[in-house]
A and B are shown apart, each in its own frame.
Chain A
Amino acid sequence: MDKVLSNKKIIALYVLPSLLLILGVVYIPIILTGYYGLNKWNGISAMEFIGMENYLALVKDSAFWSSAWHSLLLALFSTLSLVIYLAVAMVLATRIKGANLFRKIYLIPMLLSSVAIAQLWLKIYHPTNGIVNSFLESIGIANPPAWLADTSLVLPALFIPILWQYAGFYILIYYAALKNIPASLEEAAKIDGANALQIAWKIKLPLAMEVIKVTIVLAVVGSLKYFDLIYVMTDGGPNGASEVMASYMYRVAFRAHDFGYGSAIGFFLLVICLIITWIIRKLTATKDTIQYS
Chain B
Amino acid sequence: MITGTAGQLQSGPASSGAALGRKLGYGLLYIILILVAVLQVLPLVWLLFFSLKNNQEVFNLPPFSLPMDPKWENYSKVWSAGNINVYFLNSVWVTVLATALTVILGSLVTYAVTRMKWKGSSFVLGLFMVAMMIPVHSTLIPLFSVYNKIGLTDHPLSLIFSYVAFNMPITIMILLGFYYALPREVEEAAVIDGCSVNRMFVRIVFPMTSSVLATTAIINMIYNWNEFIFVNTFISSDIYKTLTVGVQNFIGQYTTDWGAIGATLMISILPILITFLFLSDKIVEGIAAGSVKG
Contacts and interface: CB of A to CB of B under 8 A. Distances in A.
A24 B135 CA distance: 15
Nearest to A114: B228
Residue from B44, B106, B162, B233 having most chain A Cβ neighbours under 10 A: B44
B250 to A, nearest CB: 10
Interface stretch (A5-13, A54-62, A185-193): A5-13
14 contacts: A1-B191, A10-B112, A11-B116, A29-B139, A113-B226, A114-B228, A115-B228, A115-B245, A120-B265, A121-B43, A214-B292, A221-B133, A267-B138, A273-B135
B225 A113 contact: yes
Interface string A1-40: 1101111101101110111011111111110110010000
A123 B288 contact: no
Interface residues of B, number: 90
Contact of B124 (A5, A19, A134, A266): A19
Contact of A273 (B133, B243, B248, B261): B133
Contacts of A13: 108
B22 to A, nearest CB: 10
B29 to A, nearest CB: 5
Interface of B: 26, 29-30, 32-33, 36-37, 39-41, 43-44, 46-47, 50, 58-59, 63, 105-106, 108-109, 111-113, 115-118, 124, 127-128, 131, 133-146, 161-162, 164-166, 168-169, 188, 191-192, 196-198, 201, 222, 225-226, 228-229, 233, 243-245, 247-248, 251, 258, 261-262, 265, 268-269, 272-273, 276, 280, 283-284, 287-288, 291-292, 294
Contacts, number: 265
B244 A113 contact: yes
From DSSP, what is the main secondary structure of chain B's interface residues? helix
Contacts of A22: 127-128, 131, 165, 168-169
A236 interface: no
Contacts of A30: 134, 138-139, 142
B40 A266 contact: no
A14 B32 contact: no
A52 B142 CA distance: 18
Contacts of A131: 43, 46, 63
B99 to A, nearest CB: 15
A17 B226 contact: no
Interface of A: 1-2, 4-8, 10-11, 13-15, 17-19, 21-30, 32-33, 36, 43, 88, 91-92, 94, 96, 98, 102-116, 119-121, 123-124, 129, 131, 134, 164, 167-169, 172-173, 176-177, 211, 214-215, 218, 221, 224-225, 227-228, 232, 246, 249-250, 253-254, 259, 262-263, 266-267, 269-270, 273-274, 277
B142 A113 contact: no
B197 A107 contact: no
A214 B293 CA distance: 9
Nearest to A20: B165
Contacts of B273: 108, 112
B197 A225 contact: no
A104 to B, nearest CB: 5
Contact of A21 (B32, B168, B272): B168
B134 A270 contact: yes
